[in-house]
Chain A
C-alpha cells in the first residue's frame, strides 16, 4: 500500500513541488495550506508521515506540530519540518514542539525523499 504524506505549507509553489516530488516517488499526498487546515484534515487524511513548513498564517508549524502531538492517534507520527539552514533556533523550537526531523531548504526532491524514508518504516 502507498504511504500517505500530509504536507502543510502556505506557499503554492512549494505545495506543488511537494506534490510532484512525492507523487513521483510513489507516495499518496494530501495537502493543507496552513496549520489550521492541517489539523482539520488530519483525522480524515490519516497520514503515515507529515511534512510541514514553519512560517504560515493562522497557525504556524510549531502550533501545528503541538496540535498533532496532542491527538492521541498521531502523537508518535513522524513529522518533518521544512526549514532553512540559518534557522537553528527554529529547528529547536520545532523539536520542542515535537518534530521528528527536518529538511533543510532550498527544497530538493532527493533530500525530501531521503528524510521521509529515514523516519518511516
Chain B
C-alpha cells in the first residue's frame, strides 16, 4: 500500500494495458522499454515453472516470464500472436509474455481504486490497485513483485 500512496502524489500518468485470458492488467508505461513478438526462449535448468527461459535482446540475455503462470493462472501456450512486454525495474530487464496489448491509458491517480480487501496471496503480492475504464476492470500490476528473485538480488 505504501507504493500506491507514493504514486498517488503524481497527477496524470500513462499505463499499458494487456490481456491474459479474459482478464486485463496494466503496468506503468515508464517501466516498459519495448514490446516485441514472441520468439522461442532457451529453457533454463532448475528454473521456476513461470520462467520460460532466456532470449537474445540485442545482445543482452533477457529472461522471459509467463505472466499468466506467475500470477497463479494457467500456464501460457505461446504462439506467434503472443507478445513480450520488455520491462525494466531498477537495473534489471525482464520480458513478460502476455496474450496481447489492449490499450494505452491516460489516467489520474484518483482513478486507481484500492484492491478490495481480499486476503489471497495474489492480491497481496501482485496487485496494486484496480481501474474501472468503460466498464472494464483492469488490475494494476506491481512489477517488482513479478520479477524473479529480485528480492535477494536487490542489494
Asked whether any CB of A lies within 8 Å of a CB of B in the complex, the reply is: no
Residues of B within 8 A of A (CB): none
